[in-house]
């Protein structure tokens, strides 16, 4: 004789859903079908308090609410089922015996003269596998979420990379993102986003290596009282640990990385291979006692996106102040590289040689320090 579990499996039920993105679950088996709208998923209490249905022994969640519909369109019946007390319902029944007993009490309230029996698990949708695969429970007032099944690594990676992009563009700190992720199960965890950011950084270092330059003598760390531009604790710690050292990247590597995308967007024209390259430099404040000097490059051909920060690429960065001796050390390789690009151009892919037109932009103080002059004159004027 078959037991109830074997009989249930033999029915070969079908669940059609896109849960949890959509709350509707359609269930069908030979002879009957139900449509469930999950209003509140609820959670399974600790094992000591967890209750089960009779027969198939389905787990009964707490704080669970579902709207169940069945029957043909003209005779469609809908009932809202809750495993908790809820007021203002047309028919409200309560049972401490079982879910099936609650279903029977509901049938009597609906039509006292008709002897109708409903299945508790079918009424509440307690057998739905998708609900058991995406379930929440509380331990010491902390919420946990478990997903059963294989993780889609490609989708997870794509979500993490998208989160990195959003955090960078919107300047969302790790602490702020961790708070957002704690209230949304669909967002990647903060540690995954952090790991993906490190992987992206590693990939970019392979494509565009960063060289460290030892700055001598050590830079003074004079206090300033001007506006703070950066408050990210990770950036500040990194800057403080890098005092006396600077980083630089080759413009040639940056251009080789950018050219294919610019050609695809038709910003550059292979029949007219000219790149208008602008070099800019200035100082900024990380905190009141920490300063940074940054030199960036941008491609003026991409005029529609020139105002966007992500289209300005850092080529020199060091913590400290604008000082001629320091700028001379850190900018010397850049000057050699720019002279080579100006005189020889850039040969890249299919033998095309790109002509590089250089433009420079900075405030007067930065330019004067670079040129080691004390005041504007007929040869060097304020740019």
Q: What is the pLDDT of residues 120-145, one digit of tens each?
A: 666 666 666 666 655 555 444 555 55
Chain-centre distance for alpha carbon 265: 26
Any domain includes 376: no
Q: What is the mean pLDDT of the chain?
A: 76
Tens of pLDDT, residue by residue over 21-62, are 888 988 888 878 889 998 888 877 766 667 777 766 778 887
With 70 as the cut, is the pLDDT of residue 160 above it?
yes
Residues 112, 241: one domain?
no
Q: How confident is the model at residue 1 (pLDDT cuts 50, 70, 90)?
A: very low
Any domain includes 334: yes
Any domain includes 342: yes
Tens of pLDDT, residue by residue over 326-359, are 888 888 888 889 889 999 999 877 778 999 998 9
| Extended beta strands in 160-258, E state | 211-214, 245-248
Any domain includes 382: no
Q: How confident is the model at residue 249 (pLDDT cuts 50, 70, 90)?
A: very high
Residues 142, 165: one domain?
no
With 60 as the cut, is the pLDDT of residue 362 above it?
yes
Residues 78, 222: one domain?
no
With 90 as the cut, is the pLDDT of residue 301 above it?
yes
Tokens standing for residue 13: 């039920």
Residues 215, 318: one domain?
yes
Any domain includes 383: no
| Residue 299 pLDDT | 94
Residues 228, 364: one domain?
yes
Cβ-contact 56, 5 below 8 angstroms: yes
Q: What total number of domains does the chain contain?
A: 3
Residues 115, 158: one domain?
no
More reliable by pLDDT, 108 or 267: 267
Q: Give the whole-angstrom CA distance, residue 196 versus residue 153.
A: 12
Residues 59, 140: one domain?
yes
Tell me the pTM: 0.50
Residues 125, 188: one domain?
no
User: Cα–Cα distances in Å, from 173 out to 186, 236, 372?
Assistant: 19, 13, 39
Any domain includes 378: no
Any domain includes 306: yes
Tens of pLDDT, residue by residue over 9-20, are 445 778 888 887
| Range 144-172 burial, b when 16+ CB lie within 10 A, else e | eeeeeeeeeeeeeeebbbebbeebeeeee
| Extended beta strands in the chain, E state | 14-17, 24-29, 32-40, 51-52, 59-60, 65-70, 77-82, 134-139, 142-147, 211-214, 245-248, 274-287, 290-299, 313-319, 346-347, 353-362
Residues 282, 231: one domain?
yes
Residue range of the domain that includes 188 = 153-199
Residues 359, 242: one domain?
yes
User: Cα–Cα distances in Å, from 34 out to 4, 80, 128, 277?
Assistant: 20, 13, 11, 65
Residues 159, 11: one domain?
no
């Amino acid at each position: 004789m078959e037991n109830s579990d074997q009989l249930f499996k033999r029915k070969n039920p079908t669940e059609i859903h896109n849960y949890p993105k959509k709350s509707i679950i359609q269930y069908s088996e030979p002879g009957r079908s139900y449509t469930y709208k999950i209003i509140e998923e609820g959670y399974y209490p600790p094992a000591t308090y967890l209750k089960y249905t009779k027969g198939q022994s389905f787990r009964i969640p707490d704080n669970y609410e579902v709207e169940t519909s069945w029957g043909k369109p003209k005779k469609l019946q809908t009932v809202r089922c809750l495993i908790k007390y809820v007021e203002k319902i047309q028919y409200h029944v309560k049972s401490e015996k079982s879910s099936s007993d609650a279903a029977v009490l509901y049938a009597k309230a609906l039509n006292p003269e008709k002897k109708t029996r409903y299945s508790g698990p079918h009424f509440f949708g307690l057998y739905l596998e998708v609900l058991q695969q995406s379930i929440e429970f509380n331990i010491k007032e902390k919420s946990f979420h478990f997903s059963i099944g294989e993780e889609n690594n490609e989708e997870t990676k794509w979500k993490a990379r998208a989160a990195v992009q959003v955090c960078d563009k919107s300047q969302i700190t790790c602490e702020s993102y961790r708070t957002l992720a704690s209230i949304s199960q669909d967002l990647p965890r903060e540690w995954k986003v952090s790991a993906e950011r490190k992987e992206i950084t590693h990939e970019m270092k392979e494509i565009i290596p960063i060289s460290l330059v030892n700055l001598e003598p050590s830079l003074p760390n004079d206090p300033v009282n001007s506006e703070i531009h950066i408050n990210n604790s990770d950036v500040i710690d990194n800057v403080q640990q890098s005092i006396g050292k600077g980083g630089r990247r080759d413009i040639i590597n940056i251009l080789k990385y950018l050219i294919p995308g610019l050609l695809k967007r038709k910003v550059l024209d292979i029949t007219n291979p000219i790149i208008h390259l602008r070099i800019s430099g200035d100082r900024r404040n990380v905190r009141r006692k920490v300063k940074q000097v940054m030199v960036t490059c941008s491609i003026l051909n991409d005029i529609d996106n020139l105002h966007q920060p992500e289209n300005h690429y850092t080529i020199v960065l060091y913590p400290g102040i604008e000082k001629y001796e320091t700028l001379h050390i850190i900018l010397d390789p850049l000057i050699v590289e720019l002279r080579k690009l100006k005189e020889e151009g850039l040969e890249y892919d299919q033998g095309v040689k790109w002509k590089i037109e250089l433009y420079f932009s900075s405030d007067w103080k930065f330019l004067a320090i670079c040129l080691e002059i004390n005041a504007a004159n007929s040869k060097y004027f304020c740019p």
